[in-house]
């Protein structure tokens, strides 16, 4: 099958990890007889350097015309990078928010799964890890604090700043529906996370989630306050199946969830709209401190490519092959620095990509 894929290498370690994911996809294409046409577009600092803005209209149009977008990471070191001397709406992150909003990617799926091979890299005690855990954070991605009105101003000589958190029922309903649908394909449990003891937006969130839940009587629904959820994630992560939450809470909780899986370098993500189209990116940042040193863990990006095969291209067997290849390489004891433990073999970004690409050929053919 022919598919058009837009690659966004981005900044920092982005080009290295996207390069490895593409290497793995090339092997998938060879093995299964597909043809992927790639086009690269600039986003974030890389785009600022060339065009003066973090995302051009042409880049957005190119992304829109693809079957799927595979992205690395964007942004730099805010203390030293000239990108952060620009006004906030021209900085790298503004480009990412614009592409999410422009493509209507309201549903952000972030699976956090503890590989049995990585138990030693998990910072939790063995009695807490138990049989391991496997959760999916369903983060609302185009509303809330990220997109509400904001301003910095001065009142009577006193500096002030304001951000607004707005959700309407339609925005809540469509992400809740996605949450319940995916719970049905997993373990039939949704934990909806909010701050309903304080925020009006959370009280509406809770009401609408309950209305949606009525259509999914086979799925268990519980509500949890976000502060409690942050605590439960390190107290008993095994209790979670689908965590359904708004944009800002999802941003914070997904970093926490990724760390309990051993490393943020393992966490993939898919950002979806109502169609098959999606933007796939690791949940981690651009790690400018290790950029270009062959140290970054490419696995989150490779697993994001697997999600792309599954959700946008409908290639389940190929997605399984990538996920199994990752597991095989971990099983053989290969680790990048971030997930390294005693007795394992430490490899760089490129070697990890080579090993996973080679392992694609391990299983039976299609």
Q: At what angle do helices 169-184 and 200-213 cross, to 10 degrees?
A: 50
Positive or negative torsion for Cα 173, 178, 181, 182? negative
Beta pairing, strands 334-335 & 345-346 = parallel
Q: How far is the CB of 286 from Mg ion (least distance, A)?
A: 12
Of 22, 23, 178, 195, the catalytic one is 195
Residue 157 exposed, middle or buried by CB count within 10 Å (0-12, 13-18, 19+): exposed
From 230, 220, 163, select the one nearest 194 (Cα to Cα). Answer: 230
Residue 75 near ligand IPM by CB under 6 A? yes
Q: Which residue has the tokens 């996207």?
A: 18
- Per CB under 5 A, contacts with Mg ion among 274-293 are none
Binding status of residue 71 toward ligand IPM by CB under 6 A: no
| Closest residue to Mg ion: CB criterion | 251
Q: Which is nearer to ligand IPM, 145 or 346 (CB)?
A: 145
Between 286 and 336, CB nearer to Mg ion: 286
Among 67, 194, 241, 251, binds ligand IPM (CB under 6 A): 251
Nearer residue to ligand IPM within complex by CB, 83 or 216: 83
Q: Which does 142 bind (CB under 5 to 8 A by kind): Mg ion, ligand IPM, none?
A: none
Residue with Cβ nearer ligand IPM (250 or 262): 250
Q: How far is the CB of 153 from ligand IPM (least distance, A)?
A: 23
Q: Tell me, yes or no, if 280 is annotated catalytic.
A: no
- Radius of gyration in angstroms for the set of CA atoms belonging to the chain, rounded to a whole number: 20
Q: Which stretch binds Mg ion (CB under 5 A): 14-22, 115-123, 251-259, 297-305?
A: 251-259
Q: Integer distance in angstroms from the first to the last C-alpha of the chain?
A: 13
Say how far apart CA 292 and CA 201 lie, in whole Å. 42
Per partner kind, with CB cut-offs from 5 to 8 A, the member of ligand IPM, Mg ion, none near residue 67 is none
Tell whether residue 171 is a contact of Mg ion (CB under 5 A): no
Query: How much helix, strand and coil, in percent to the nearest 5, is found in the chain?
Result: 45, 20, 35
Q: Residues 278 to 307: which contact ligand IPM by CB under 6 A?
A: 283
Name the catalytic one among 26, 77, 134, 255.
255
In terms of Cβ atoms closer than 10 Å to its own Cβ (0-12, 13-18, 19+), residue 217 is exposed
CB of 84 to ligand IPM, least distance (A): 13
Give the number of residues in contact with ligand IPM, rule: CB under 6 A: 5
Decide if residue 93 touches ligand IPM (CB under 6 A). yes
Report, in Å, the least distance between residue 66 CB and ligand IPM.
20
DSSP string, 26-43: HHHHHHHT-EEEEEE---
- Which of 95/353 has CB closer to ligand IPM? 95
* Distance (Å, whole) CA 357 – CA 167: 43
Q: Is residue 251 annotated as part of the catalytic site, yes or no?
A: yes
* Site for ligand IPM contains 318 (CB under 6 A): no
Catalytic pick among 115, 146, 216, 311: 146
Respond yes or no: is residue 127 known to be catalytic. no
Residues 305, 322: contact at Cβ < 8 Å? yes
Give the residue among 248, 273, 311, 305 at the shortest CA–CA distance from 103.
273
Q: Which one among 5, 42, 96, 109 touches ligand IPM, defined by CB under 6 A?
A: 96
Cα-based angle 300, 297, 229 (whole degrees, multiple of 5): 50
Give the ranges where 148-191 is alpha helix by DSSP (H).
169-184
To 10 degrees, what angle do helices 57-64 and 92-102 make?
40
334 flagged as catalytic: no
Distance between CA atoms of 321 and 310, rounded to whole angstroms?
11
Catalytic residue among 163, 200, 227, 316: 227
Catalytic (active site) residue 146: yes
Using CB under 5 A, pick the residue from 93, 194, 251, 281 that binds Mg ion: 251
We find the least distance from the C-beta atom of residue 344 to ligand IPM, in angstroms, to be 28
Which residues lie near Mg ion (CB under 5 A)?
251
Which residues lie near ligand IPM (CB under 6 A)?
75, 93, 96, 251, 283
Active-site positions read: 146, 195, 227, 251, 255
């Amino acid at each position: 099958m022919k598919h058009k894929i837009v690659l966004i290498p981005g900044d920092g370690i982005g080009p290295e990890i996207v390069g490895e994911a593409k290497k793995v996809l090339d092997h998938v294409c060879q093995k299964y007889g597909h043809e992927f046409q790639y086009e690269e577009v600039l986003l974030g600092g890389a785009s600022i350097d060339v065009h003066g803005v973090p995302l051009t209209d042409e880049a957005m149009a190119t992304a829109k015309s693809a079957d799927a977008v595979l992205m690395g990471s964007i942004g730099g070191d805010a203390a030293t990078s000239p990108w952060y001397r620009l006004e906030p709406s021209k900085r790298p992150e503004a480009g990412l928010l614009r592409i999410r909003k422009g493509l209507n990617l309201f549903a952000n799926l972030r699976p956090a799964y503890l590989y049995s091979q990585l138990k030693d890299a998990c910072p939790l005690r063995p009695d807490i890890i138990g049989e391991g855990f496997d959760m999916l954070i369903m983060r609302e991605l185009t509303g809330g604090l990220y997109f509400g009105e904001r301003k910095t101003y001065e009142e009577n000589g006193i500096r002030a700043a304001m951000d607004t958190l707005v959700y309407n029922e339609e925005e809540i309903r469509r992400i809740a529906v996605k949450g319940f649908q995916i719970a049905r394909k997993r373990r039939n449990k949704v934990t909806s996370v909010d701050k309903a003891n304080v925020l009006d937006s959370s009280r509406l969130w809770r009401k609408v989630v309950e209305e949606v839940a009525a259509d999914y009587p086979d799925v268990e629904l519980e509500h949890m306050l976000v502060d409690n959820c942050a605590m439960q994630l390190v107290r008993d992560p095994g209790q979670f199946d689908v965590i359904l939450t708004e944009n800002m809470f999802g941003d914070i909780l997904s970093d926490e969830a990724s760390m309990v899986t051993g490393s943020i370098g393992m966490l993939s993500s898919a950002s979806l709209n109502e169609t098959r189209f999606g933007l796939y990116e690791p949940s981690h940042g651009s790690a400018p401190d290790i950029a270009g040193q062959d140290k970054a863990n490419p696995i989150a990006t490779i697993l994001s490519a697997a999600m792309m095969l599954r959700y946008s291209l409908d290639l389940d067997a190929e997605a399984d092959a990538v996920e199994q290849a990752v597991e095989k390489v971990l099983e053989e004891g290969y680790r990048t620095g971030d997930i390294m433990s005693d007795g394992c073999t430490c490899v760089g970004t490129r070697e990890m990509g080579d090993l996973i690409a080679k392992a694609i050929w391990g299983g039976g053919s299609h």
